[in-house]
Homo-oligomer: A and B are copies of this chain.
Amino acid sequence: MDRALPSLYFLWLKLLEVEDGFILQTRCLDAGEQSIEFQQPPGGASTIIPMLLCVLTVSDRCSQGLMTDTAGPAVADLLRQHWPGSRVANALVPDKEDEIIARLLEWSSMHASLILTVGGTGLSPRDRTPEATVRILDRLVPGIAEAMRAIGSAKNQFAWLSRGIAGLRGSTLIVNLPGSKRGAEESLSAVIPLLNHAIEVAGGGQNHPS
């Protein structure tokens, strides 16, 4: 019982074959339902391919039409404001792991620079966004989630209860935000400078000194 942790990553390596099958299957299921909307950069013609930034609202009630999603659009507005030349895609899914995963895989395969999920990070029985996210990450970036909670708790102590995680799939940075409009905006604003730097480094554009 004394040697517990060693095999974690070793094991993952052994499972790639199975996992790849799973990913392919998930993506096929999703293929018929994609409806990404791109916002053209305001500055007109550019020779550089603009960054793709994505917002995925995760909410049973919003996806059933019982509630209007205000947090997702607010997050998308913040992205357009901080990265004015970028394309911003958005989508809405219920609190179902398979649907969350399908969208994360789709956008990361399109080499999105950043995917922000909004919602499903709480302790309600249906909240499973972090569990879906961790399944498709290559590398964790624990400090982004720690920063959102530590900085957020100065204004609202319940920020500590967000179970959100952050990490990379390839060069795509994926970050879980809480589902309330205020919580999502505050969490994102707390880490905007970090995300800017992280995206640049993850894309291979700079060697960050850590």
Contact = CB atoms under 8 A, between A and B. Distances in A.
Given A123-B168, A209-B179, A210-B178, A139 B128 contact: yes
B121 A210 contact: yes
B161 A197 contact: yes
Interface in A115-162: 121-125, 127-128, 130-132, 134-147, 149-150, 153, 157-162
Interface in A151-188: 153, 157-165, 167-168, 171, 173, 178-180, 182-183
Interface of A: 1-16, 18-19, 22-23, 97-98, 121-125, 127-128, 130-132, 134-147, 149-150, 153, 157-165, 167-168, 171, 173, 178-180, 182-183, 191, 193-194, 197-198, 201-202, 204, 207-210
Contact of A7 (B11, B121, B179, B208): B11
Q: How many copies does the complex hold?
A: 3
A19 B6 contact: yes
Contacts of A146: 146, 149-150, 160
Given A1-B13, A97-B1, A210-B180, A147 B160 contact: yes
